[in-house]
């Protein structure tokens, strides 16, 4: 009788086990120092607060992967970090769920670019000119100096893509930051940008992953490079004497999005948690990207805030990325850029 009771109890527990199985969501971001900061600020505290496990992954922004998952009706990613042009394009194509802002937070608490139909801004970041202060005697002031190989001999690092690279070429050619997209929106402006890039081509060392520019700079492979400001900050914390030139930088917001057909309720819960001022304060304290929740700024020490893209002094000569421009012209310009780079 005892054996039968024990056996019945074991069977009952085994059938009940799925009900007690730990819930999980898969969150995919751009990896590196960014992912490390997200682990500390978002993933681990969320797990502790909710009991839901975060399975963390990373990718390089390939929209084709998301599209393939959604088209197959079996997305294995529940929350994904996307840049603004990809967010807008993906939203228009029906790849992302609409955000239920009533469950995320008050839109008025966020910087304007962080609020959209299919995304919630995570952080404000910049692509800026960076250099190794141990290698250069004089600091470059902007992209004109970046192109000056006589004054600053050596290789330059640039992202292997049209986005940001064409804007930098025009600013190097004397176009004011405020006029860049007006000029780049014309045929003559595109020709001008590629002509300027061709002048520098023999001196360019291309990079494709955000971790590469600080590595190139620290090793002396390049004397200057375009770089994500947070990656330079991470290298500085490791003792590398790398500097950021905020003048003529380009800033944007990365956002959380939910692939169509994912675990919407759990994904929304994670996004709401990550958007709290307290969590964003931890994130910006671990990597130099600005918070999107304006209430976070007051929580940050002045020294930390001054090293973020959101600091007023750093925004002064900076250029906000024109998302609509890249959605409209991105495909053609990237195609032309790839053909030009392959020559």
At 107-143, the pLDDT tens digits run 999 998 899 999 999 999 999 999 999 989 899 999 9
Identify the three-state secondary structure at position 289.
coil
Can you give the pTM of this predicted structure?
0.79
Mean pLDDT of 1-25: 52
pLDDT digits (tens, 9 = 90+) for 175-218: 999 999 999 999 999 999 999 999 999 999 999 988 999 999 99
Task: Give the Å distances, CA to CA, from 110 to 106, 120, 229, 275, 299.
Answer: 8, 9, 21, 9, 15
pLDDT digits (tens, 9 = 90+) for 45-70: 999 999 999 999 999 888 999 999 99
Percent pLDDT > 90 in the chain is 82
pLDDT band at 2 (very low <50, low <70, confident <90, very high): very low
pLDDT band at 3 (very low <50, low <70, confident <90, very high): very low
Same-domain check for residues 204 and 324: yes
pLDDT of the residue at 70: 97
Same-domain check for residues 263 and 242: no
Mean pLDDT of 288-307: 92
pLDDT of the residue at 315: 86
- Burial of 4 per CB tally in 10 Å (0-12, 13-18, 19+): exposed
pLDDT band at 19 (very low <50, low <70, confident <90, very high): very low
Q: Which long-range contacts (CB under 8 A, 24 or more apart) does 274-278 make?
A: 274/41, 274/42, 274/46, 274/122, 275/104, 275/105, 275/110, 275/120, 276/105, 277/109
Mean pLDDT of 247-271: 97
Q: Is residue 206 situated within a structural domain?
A: yes
Same-domain check for residues 73 and 86: yes
Buried-state track 109-145, b at ≥16 Cβ within 10 A, e below 16: bbbebbbbebbbbbbbbbbbbbbbeebbeeebebbeb
Same-domain check for residues 167 and 35: no
pLDDT digits (tens, 9 = 90+) for 154-185: 999 999 999 999 999 999 999 999 999 999 99
| d(C-alpha 58, C-alpha 286), whole Å | 18
Are the C-beta atoms of 28 and 80 separated by less than 8 Å? yes
Q: Which of 296, 272, 266, 300 is nearest to 285 (CA)?
A: 300
Q: What is the secondary structure of 203-231 as a DSSP string? A: GEEEE-STTHHHHHHHHTS-SEEEEEHHH
Q: Is residue 3 situated within a structural domain?
A: no
What residues make up the domain containing 170?
127-251+317-342
Mean pLDDT of 303-322: 90
pLDDT of the residue at 297: 87
Identify the three-state secondary structure at position 185.
coil
pLDDT band at 7 (very low <50, low <70, confident <90, very high): very low
Work out how many domains the chain is built from and give that number.
2
Identify the three-state secondary structure at position 255.
strand
pLDDT of the residue at 208: 93
Same-domain check for residues 279 and 218: no
pLDDT band at 271 (very low <50, low <70, confident <90, very high): very high
Same-domain check for residues 259 and 336: no
Asked whether the predicted pLDDT for residue 232 surpasses 50, the reply is yes
Percent pLDDT > 70 in the chain is 94
Asked whether the predicted pLDDT for residue 27 surpasses 90, the reply is yes
How many CB atoms lie under 10 A from the CB of residue 162?
A: 27
Mean pLDDT of 228-248: 93
Q: Is residue 17 situated within a structural domain?
A: no
| d(C-alpha 320, C-alpha 288), whole Å | 17
Same-domain check for residues 158 and 237: yes
CA dihedral sign of residues 180, 333, 340, 227:
positive
Same-domain check for residues 133 and 221: yes
CA dihedral sign of residues 321, 62, 255, 240:
negative
CATH label of the domain that carries residue 138:
3.40.190.10
pLDDT of the residue at 312: 84
| Chain mean pLDDT for the chain | 92
pLDDT of the residue at 241: 95
Could you tell me whether strands 120-132 and 224-228 are parallel, antiparallel, or unpaired per DSSP bridges?
antiparallel
Mean pLDDT of 273-284: 97
Mean pLDDT of 244-260: 96
pLDDT of the residue at 21: 56
Could you tell me whether strands 319-320 and 242-257 are parallel, antiparallel, or unpaired per DSSP bridges?
parallel
Please identify which residue in the block is written with the tokens 């952080």: 123
Please identify which residue in the block is written with the tokens 């392959």: 342
Q: Is residue 134 situated within a structural domain?
A: yes
| DSSP letter assigned to residue 179 | G
Same-domain check for residues 267 and 321: no
CA 57 to centroid of chain Cα atoms: 14
């Amino acid at each position: 009788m005892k054996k039968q009771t024990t056996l019945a109890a074991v069977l009952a527990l085994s059938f009940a086990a799925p009900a007690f199985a730990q819930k999980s969501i898969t969150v995919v971001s751009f990896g590196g120092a960014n992912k490390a900061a997200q682990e500390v600020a978002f993933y681990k505290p969320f797990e502790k607060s909710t009991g839901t496990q975060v399975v963390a992954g990373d990718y390089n922004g390939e929209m084709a992967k998301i599209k393939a998952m959604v088209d197959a009706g079996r997305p294995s990613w529940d929350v994904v970090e996307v840049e603004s042009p990809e967010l807008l394009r993906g939203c228009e194509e029906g790849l992302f769920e609409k955000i239920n802002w009533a469950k995320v937070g008050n839109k008025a608490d966020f910087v304007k670019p962080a609020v959209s139909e299919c995304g919630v801004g995570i952080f404000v970041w910049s692509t800026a000119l960076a250099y190794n202060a141990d290698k250069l005697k004089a600091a470059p002031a902007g992209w004109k100096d970046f192109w000056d190989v006589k004054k600053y001999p050596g290789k330059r690092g640039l992202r292997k893509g049209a986005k940001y690279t064409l804007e930098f070429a025009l600013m190097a050619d004397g176009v004011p930051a405020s006029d860049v997209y007006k000029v780049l929106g014309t045929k003559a402006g595109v020709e001008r940008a590629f002509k300027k890039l061709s002048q520098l081509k023999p001196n360019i060392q291309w990079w494709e992953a955000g971790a590469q520019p600080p590595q190139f700079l620290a090793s002396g492979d390049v004397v200057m490079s375009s770089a994500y400001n947070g990656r330079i900050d991470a290298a500085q914390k490791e003792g590398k004497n790398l500097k950021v030139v905020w003048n003529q930088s380009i800033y944007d917001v990365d956002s959380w999005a939910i692939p169509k057909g994912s675990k919407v309720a759990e994904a929304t819960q994670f996004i709401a948690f990550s958007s709290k001022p307290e969590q964003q304060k931890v994130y910006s304290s671990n990597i130099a990207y600005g918070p999107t929740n304006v209430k976070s700024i007051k929580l940050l020490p002045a020294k930390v805030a001054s090293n973020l893209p959101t600091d007023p002094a750093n925004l002064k000569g900076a250029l906000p990325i024109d998302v609509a421009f890249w959605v409209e012209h991105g495909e053609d310009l990237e195609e032309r850029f790839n053909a030009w780079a392959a020559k």
